[in-house]
Amino acid sequence: MLLWLISFVYKNATSCAFLLSSFKLLMKRVLLLLVICLVQFSCKKETIFLNEGVITGVDARLCPCVVTCPCACSSLIFHFINRGDTTRVILENPGTIQLSADVRYPVYIKLNWVNTTRCNIQAVKITDYKIR
């Protein structure tokens, strides 16, 4: 009986050690996966913008607009500030920029854009922006 008890304890001790080592290996893998997930999802990805600009106000002139052409008035007054040319730029899609009703001008923004020309009017189409 004593011999049987010793062999039983020995067999179970080795299987218990195997289970313990398997559990430790599993916990290491889970911990590694958790660390990778934390690093991946906690890093804030910053968008890189082409230029910076300033909206100095709203152009309240009432001009007739042709549907297929960008309006040269009744739009935001926008200028690039980090380029050589700081003249007013016509925005093809000024409705893209969402400003609050109680906005105080000037509003500085970072933006990505593409050149557009319709009806012989040079304009800028905003593709992405961030208010600074």
pLDDT of residue 108: 93
Residue with tokens 């011999």: 3
* Higher-pLDDT residue of 121, 72: 121
Does the pLDDT at position 122 exceed 70?
yes
**Which residue's entry shows tokens 């299987």?**
15
The reported pLDDT for the residue numbered 14 is: 60
**Short-list 62, 105, 111, 108, CA closest to 91:** 111
Report the distance separating Cα 113 and Cα 119, nearest Å. 19
Confidence check: pLDDT of 19 > 80: no
Q: What was the pLDDT predicted at 118?
A: 66
Q: What residue segments make up the domains of the chain, in order of their start? A: 1-44, 51-131
pLDDT digits (tens, 9 = 90+) for 24-47: 777 888 888 888 877 777 776 677
Assess whether the previous peptide bond of 106 is cis (omega < 30° from 0). Answer: yes
pLDDT, tens digit, for every residue of 58-114? 877 656 565 556 555 557 888 888 877 778 888 877 778 888 888 888 899 999 989
- Report pTM: 0.57
Query: Are the C-beta atoms of residues 69 and 117 closer than 8 Å to each other?
Result: no
